[in-house]
Amino acid sequence: MTAVVDTRPLRHWLHSANSPHLVICCGEHPDPATWSRAVCTAVCTGGPGDAGDAGVSGSGQAVVQLSTCLGALTPAVLLELVAGGASGVTVALDGCANPVDTEAVVNRAGTFVSALGRPQHINVAKVLPTERKHGAAWPILGETAVPVSRRTLFGRPDGLDLAEPSEHPTQRLAAVLRELVGGDRSGTELDHVPTGIPRLLATRCAGSGVCARTCPGDALIVTRIVLAEASSDQDAIAQFHLAFDPARCTGCGQCLEICPESALEQSGEHVWSSLMAQERVDLRAGLTRRCARCGVGHGRSGDLCAVCAFRAANPFGSTMPPGAPHGVDRGRQPGR
């Protein structure tokens, strides 16, 4: 999982501010204060007027220092700030320890903003701008170090009901894209943007559950109902159901490699409109026997699953998973 940065305090502040342009500095940036007197060319200052009691009057820009490097985060962090009311976002790369990954995150966030036709821009700045601000410096904020409005101080809510950000990067990204798209559109304008989330088929699944037990994001879910316990004249019989939650998938591909029956296959990718619809996919349902040795479900004849049957036939060996690359010692398989 990627690091989880909670943007809710910043979004509550943005709700009361006057659509400032945000300059984002990574957690390792040595001196964010240098940006508090820099004027970004992409700033949308707007007209004069009240900037809100949570902001700095007349401010068209603010500096935000994150707790970690942006390169380790999901693009959802930047998109949440745009959804919260930022007029634009500039990410400072001059103090970033991982500028390549950070720029990739920024570019991906910018792709979504552009595809949605939003007026805001998300870009990077590799050097400090030469134009300097006169008078008071721009405010420097943190994820939780934000000005408190008088409304909040007196216990009056600002009307925002923000859910806790998901620890699953794809799920969090789909959530903020739903917000940016709006309730009256399906988000098909984003379907040309790659998701990296496989569309799975499991026509040969026998219900072993190995994929679900090893999935790092709990995206695969196996449920099993025992219909008949094992007896002297029959194997245990169970009904299984395999489902896939693509919004929890990391796209690592581990499930495709680990299945002892080679039952999972990829058939293209999910698109963003389907991920935003939060639809769980039913992959396979059927009857399965319970392995007499390890207890997992299997669809083989006999009372042993594929792994236990191999172990029984080769007590001093092991087997590599299906699809292992050539040149790898197929007599060894970690964890098997």
For 101-159, write each residue's pLDDT tens digit: 999 999 999 999 999 999 999 999 999 988 888 888 999 999 888 886 655 544 456 66
| Backbone phi and psi for residue 67, each to the nearest 5 degrees, phi listed first | -85, -10
Instruction: Note the pLDDT of residue 330.
Output: 42
Q: For the segment 7-17, what is each residue's pLDDT rounded down to a tens digit?
A: 999 999 998 88
Name the least confident of 38-47, 159-168, 219-228, 297-306: 38-47
Instruction: Note the pLDDT of residue 118.
Output: 93
CA 106, CA 243: separation in Å to the nearest integer?
33
Point out which residues pair with 265 in neighbouring strands.
201
> β-strand 88-92 against 21-25: which pairing, if any?
parallel
Structure tokens, 167: 């620890």
Instruction: Note the pLDDT of residue 153.
Output: 47
Instruction: Note the pLDDT of residue 157.
Output: 60
Q: Between the ranges 34-48, 51-65, 190-204, where is the mean pLDDT highest?
A: 190-204
- Where in the chain are the domains? 8-162, 198-313
Read off the pTM. 0.78
Under 8 Å between Cβ of 64 and 22: yes
Question: Pick the residue with more confidence: 110 or 55?
Answer: 110
Angle 176-115-189 (CA atoms, 0-180°, nearest 5)?
Answer: 85
Structure tokens, 91: 């990410």
| Backbone phi and psi for residue 112, each to the nearest 5 degrees, phi listed first | -65, -45
CA 18, CA 44: separation in Å to the nearest integer?
10
Structure tokens, 326: 């050539």
Residue-averaged pLDDT of the chain: 83
Point out which residues pair with 23 in neighbouring strands.
63, 90
Structure tokens, 133: 């601000």
Strand spans (E) along 100-248:
122-125, 140-142, 198-201, 220-228, 237-244
CA 297, CA 318: separation in Å to the nearest integer?
20
Question: CA separation (Å) from 297 to 159, 169, 202, 209, 223?
Answer: 50, 31, 15, 7, 11
CA 52, CA 10: separation in Å to the nearest integer?
14
Q: What percent of the chain has pLDDT over 90?
A: 55
CATH code of the region 198-313: 3.30.70
Average pLDDT over residues 194-213: 91
CA 320, CA 60: separation in Å to the nearest integer?
59
pLDDT at 45 over 50: no
Question: CA separation (Å) from 190 to 87, 175, 198, 310?
Answer: 21, 14, 16, 46
Q: For the segment 286-327, what is each residue's pLDDT rounded down to a tens digit?
A: 887 767 777 666 666 667 777 787 778 887 765 555 555 544
